[in-house]
Amino acid sequence: MSREKDAANYAIVFFAVLSVLLLLFPASKAAHTARIAASYSLYPSLHLGARYGYFVRNVPSNFLALLETDQENRALKNKVKEQEVKLLSASALVSENERLAKEMRLSRTLPWAGSWARVVSKTPADWYGSFFINKGTDDGIAVNDTVLGMEDDRAGLAGRVFEAYPKFSKVLLITNSAASAVCAIAPAGLEALVEGKGSWLLKVNYVPEESALTEGAEITTAPGGLLFPAGVPVGRVAKVYSRESFMNFITADVTPAVNVNTLKEVFVVKRNLPQEAAAAAGAGWGEAAQYGEQAAANRR
Amino acid sequence: MTFIFEVLLYLASGSFYWWWTQNLAFFGLAPNFIFAAALSAAILAGPVKAVAWGFFLGLYADMLGVSVLGGYALTYSVMAYAVYVVKRHFDMDSFFSQLVAALSLSWLSMLFYQCLGLVFLGLRPAGIKIFLAEPFLNALAVPVVFQVFYRLKRRLDIL
């Protein structure tokens, strides 16, 4: 402790004497040398600082500018995100608009009167069976009205109105395993029965074994059917099955004219069926009963 | 190596004071970071090094001013010695004691420097604004500078 005290005393005496000498002899050679030596300590600030003063001087303003830029950047990032969302929404709207415009153009060429409806609900458990549309009896929709879908600039049979409520309706799809329609097979116009299979394919039944049913043949609704207007495309023959030994007619798989999975809007054709006819046809799920009876009679 | 760090710290202290006075002086007032550095070094370093730091920082302050060379050098050397004496009796590491020391030593240093000016150059009184305001600014600056020096001392084994 004593040595430290002594050192401190020596140090203060030494530096105090040095300072006093500098004070006493400011113009002496030693003071001048000390001044020059001490001036080197000013180099970092006065020489380099002045040289690069622009960078050093503007630090506060640059810092503020940096903060402002950061805030601006955050705001712009948010704006970009909003714009991206809007862009996505806009592209969806554009494609919807194109689709609707196409459908509207197409609907003008249709020979049937009706109204457009939007598909509002589909049940995964009944994917090929039915869906709901956003039009009901308030809009003039009635049970058994024909429901058309649009695909590849063509209208095709999608199903029929199965239940109609004031604000919405349930559509029985042609792919439903309980649905059926009397149809005509091009080119001869041979009548047969198209039935749903509960899958993406249809089945055409009751085709006489001697008929020349070929793959790719177009199938439309037949004039003989009660529920559907004649001439609505139903699908194309995909695969013809050979006659089974105990049957006297052949069957074939049919690719539907419209993919019921991709329908967003449908065109509901107003049928204005006579009450009795509608009741007769609508008593079952489709035209199978009527056609089955007729086919059985023919066979007899 | 520690000597180089100490030289760098010395130059950085002076440069920082210069930069502050150039850019952040408010109504011509700025904390005297050279004083703050001298006081912090005096608190942290041993007596010889503390007095040496006071002397050289004072020399730097002298070089910045137009007054005689050696005035601040003597003032800060004496201040460092006084701190050495005082810190044997008081805990100078605490915030409050640094605040009080900065306030009182600022005024004492100014008065001492004024006396030196009176003796060696005739009467050159400092502005009343600086005399009244600067000690308070120094009192705010000293704890901050002390923390910086303290961390540097622990990390680089300087002072």
Picking from A12, A20, A49, the nearest residue to B19 by CB comes out as A49
CB contact under 8 A, B48 and A20: no
Residues A249-264, mean pLDDT to the nearest whole number: 88
pLDDT at B102: 92
Place of tokens 């037949």: A222
Nearest CA to A41 out of B120, B118, B13 is that of B13
CB contact under 8 A, A41 and B59: yes
Mutate to test the interface with A, among B8, B26, B55 (most CBs of A within 10 A): B55
Residue A85 confidence class, pLDDT cut points 50, 70, 90: very high
B84-138 pLDDT per residue, tens: 998 888 888 888 888 999 999 999 998 898 888 888 877 666 677 778 888 999 9
Which residues in B lie closer than 8 A to residue A56 (C-beta atoms)? Answer: 19, 22-23
Give the structural domain span for B68: 2-23+31-156
pLDDT at B115: 87
Place of tokens 């002397």: B55
Domain count, chain B: 1
Which residues in B lie closer than 8 A to residue A21 (C-beta atoms)? Answer: 70
| Highest-confidence segment of A6-15, A28-37, A52-61 | A6-15
Read off the tokens for B71.
């005035």
Strand duo A190-196 + A169-173: pairing: unpaired
Q: What is the CATH number of domain A116-299?
A: 2.40.10.340
Q: Where are the domains of chain A?
A: 2-56, 65-109, 116-299
Per DSSP, the residues of A97-120 read: HHHHHHHHHHHHH-SS-EEEEEEE
**In terms of C-beta density within 10 A (0-12 exposed, 13-18 middle, 19 or more buried), how is residue B71 classed?**
buried
Residues of chain A contacting B, Cβ within 8 Å: 4-5, 7-8, 10-12, 15-16, 18-24, 26, 31, 34-35, 38-39, 41-42, 44-46, 49, 53, 56-57, 59-60
**B147 or A49: whose pLDDT is higher?**
B147
Residues A82-98, mean pLDDT to the nearest whole number: 88
- What is the value of ipTM here, to two decimals? 0.84
Interface contacts A/B by beta carbons within 8 Å:
106
A273-285 pLDDT per residue, tens: 666 555 555 544 5
B59-95 pLDDT per residue, tens: 888 887 766 788 899 999 999 999 999 888 888 888 8
pLDDT at A283: 47
Alpha-carbon span B83 to A5, nearest angstrom: 13
**A105 or A266: whose pLDDT is higher?**
A266
| pTM to 2 decimal places | 0.49
Alpha-carbon span A136 to A163, nearest angstrom: 9
Per DSSP, the residues of A79-100 read: HHHHHHHHHHHHHHHHHHHHHH
Q: What angle do CA B70, B76, B80 make, to 5 degrees?
A: 140
A17-31, A46-60, B138-152: which range is least confident on average? A46-60
Q: Using CA coordinates, name the residue in chain A closest to B58.
A: A19
Distance to chain B for A70, nearest Cα, Å: 23
Alpha-carbon span A111 to B12, nearest angstrom: 91
Alpha-carbon span A254 to A125, nearest angstrom: 23
